[in-house]
Chain A
């Protein structure tokens, strides 16, 4: 007889481990943001710089900030900025993650810093 209690336990444990691997520190993420992103992006609502405002970025559709001149590549991406998408987008040079995009960024290869940054971006609301 299958021990479904054990299987559920393993699945739950795996989910916890997976969640822990992706959990970032928002406070440290703020420092990552200042070093990696702040020159071009603001966290204030409605304040676009060379890049669009990242206020409430988590969960919003790509190319959706009013008043910002997005690239055609970003407009056509159909993306939604969830954690997985941010992780895939920011971990590589933008020339690879979004060919034709305007953002000039070489990617953040430090996975811990990336998780912290995503945690911080998720706190902007």
Chain B
């Protein structure tokens, strides 16, 4: 069995589709609030990837507007999908339906809160609080230097980050793991795959950006109780059981440092991210603590030009060092197999996005997860002892609206896309990834045809 509280549930659900669509974060409420079209803030005229203008909008606390009253900070999204897994029949369904509270709430206070009804796998249909970022932000100055600063209450370390190269918003959100009930990699605490902190915690971070170049953020989180997680819709595997809860956070600190430069026709960023945390795993939430230290580096480049051709390149690498206070026995008692006192997870994500006239584009991403061997902790059959998982994600897209010359009704937006997700390794192996005679990693592949309407 993998580390308690961060378990893998495989055989019963592996054949089902993993969510393979970029996190759908088109929020027309923002467009109606600012009077600007979606393409002003988003590459490709649709979320989530941000232009420098979109980055500034987020840094400003989602409160920028055209000065007119009467704006309602609400949006919705519906995604219709035809999903063809490598194993099994194709299905057509409403894969996702979201409600957003998004925009200016009060003077200097804005929000991005997403409630997601998730139905992207046959076995999973639940409604839960997804990303939450409620912030106070203000512009001031340090001498002659511009300073934007703020405080956010949020539920996922990294969700506040303005540069979408991190797992909370970047490629990780586009790949598997959107649904913790499916077979998903066991990643770092910063990722939104199973066992991570995403949406299972609440915390506060303070941030500031100086001269629109130097960004820093610092914060801390506390775990939601199991009861609160359930009230907020986090899925459970069985009645009375909890699935996906990473455990109880002890002392922890989240930090972020980044440099960015908006050269109008190009954008550059580079940064560091870290999360140091203690965790009591399991539903008992007591006993020895495991210590986690996540440190990552990321970079992003955007060619914007005159917006006819836009290219975004992103890379991130996160290394998680674990010092275990727990020593779980091997669940199948294989003599000589003992849990190790330390472990390491390494996550690398590379992606490229290209759009022509913010209309037709393509996303290509590659994710590598590699972990140190620990047969006692990564011990679900077939006992490879590693969580190593690699996949490729490719998605051509057509944004039908979202531009000034092609506005949707009442600011709505429509994106049509295809998506291929292809695993070449899962659970430490490319073959028989779930035990002798079980499907191979490629058998987790899926092909999607999607229509997303944001309104």
Give residues in A with beta carbon < 8 Å to B: 30-31, 34-36, 38-40, 42, 44, 47-50, 68-69, 102
Task: Establish whether residues A35 and B40, one from each chain, have CB atoms under 8 Å apart when the complex forms.
Answer: no
Q: How many residues of B contact A (CB 8 A)?
A: 18
Q: Shortest Cβ distance from A90 into chain B, in angstroms?
A: 13
- List of A residues within 8 angstroms of B51 by Cβ: 39
- List of A residues within 8 angstroms of B304 by Cβ: 35
7 contacts between A and B (CB under 8 A): A35-B265, A39-B36, A47-B404, A48-B35, A49-B40, A50-B64, A69-B67
- List of A residues within 8 angstroms of B404 by Cβ: 38, 42, 44, 47
- Indicate which residue in B65, B264, B265, B306 contacts A50 across the interface (CB closer than 8 Å): B65
Bound form: Cα–Cα A49–B66 in Å = 6
Known: A34-B306, A35-B306, A39-B53. A50 touches B36 (CB 8 A): yes
Interface residues of B in 238-290 (CB under 8 A from A): 264-265
- List of B residues within 8 angstroms of A48 by Cβ: 35, 66
Q: Shortest Cβ distance from A11 into chain B, in angstroms?
A: 39
- Indicate which residue in A31, A47, A69 contacts B306 across the interface (CB closer than 8 Å): A31
Beta-carbon nearest neighbor of B266 in chain A: A35
Bound form: Cα–Cα A47–B404 in Å = 10
Task: Establish whether residues B68 and A49, one from each chain, have CB atoms under 8 Å apart when the complex forms.
Answer: no
Q: Shortest Cβ distance from B104 into chain A, in angstroms?
A: 13
- List of B residues within 8 angstroms of A34 by Cβ: 306-307
Give residues in B with beta carbon < 8 Å to A: 34-36, 40, 51, 53, 64-68, 264-265, 304-307, 404
- List of B residues within 8 angstroms of A40 by Cβ: 36, 40
Known: A35-B264, A35-B265. A50 touches B66 (CB 8 A): yes
- Indicate which residue in B36, B68, B264 contacts A69 across the interface (CB closer than 8 Å): B68
Task: Establish whether residues B265 and A49, one from each chain, have CB atoms under 8 Å apart when the complex forms.
Answer: no
Bound form: Cα–Cα A38–B330 in Å = 61
Bound form: Cα–Cα A47–B304 in Å = 24
* Nearest 9 interchain pairs by C-beta: A69-B67, A31-B306, A49-B35, A39-B53, A34-B306, A39-B40, A35-B264, A49-B36, A35-B265
Task: Establish whether residues B264 and A36, one from each chain, have CB atoms under 8 Å apart when the complex forms.
Answer: yes
Quick one: which of A31, A39, A42, A49 has the most chain B CB within 10 A? A39
Bound form: Cα–Cα A42–B34 in Å = 13
- List of A residues within 8 angstroms of B67 by Cβ: 68-69, 102
Beta-carbon nearest neighbor of A31 in chain B: B306
Beta-carbon nearest neighbor of A108 in chain B: B264
Bound form: Cα–Cα A104–B150 in Å = 18
- List of A residues within 8 angstroms of B307 by Cβ: 34-35, 38
- List of B residues within 8 angstroms of A44 by Cβ: 404
- List of A residues within 8 angstroms of B68 by Cβ: 69
Task: Establish whether residues B36 and A35, one from each chain, have CB atoms under 8 Å apart when the complex forms.
Answer: no
Beta-carbon nearest neighbor of B404 in chain A: A42
Supplied contacts A34-B306, A38-B307, 7 more A-B pairs, CB within 8 Å: A35-B264, A35-B304, A39-B51, A48-B66, A49-B40, A68-B67, A102-B67
Bound form: Cα–Cα A50–B33 in Å = 9
Task: Establish whether residues B305 and A50, one from each chain, have CB atoms under 8 Å apart when the complex forms.
Answer: no
- List of B residues within 8 angstroms of A30 by Cβ: 306
Beta-carbon nearest neighbor of A95 in chain B: B146
Q: Shortest Cβ distance from A69 into chain B, in angstroms?
A: 4
Quick one: which of A35, A47, A50, A69 has the most chain B CB within 10 A? A50
Bound form: Cα–Cα A101–B65 in Å = 15
- List of A residues within 8 angstroms of B65 by Cβ: 50
- List of B residues within 8 angstroms of A68 by Cβ: 67
Bound form: Cα–Cα A98–B265 in Å = 25
Q: Shortest Cβ distance from B39 into chain A, in angstroms?
A: 9
Q: Shortest Cβ distance from B407 into chain A, in angstroms?
A: 10
Beta-carbon nearest neighbor of B41 in chain A: A39
Task: Establish whether residues B305 and A35, one from each chain, have CB atoms under 8 Å apart when the complex forms.
Answer: yes
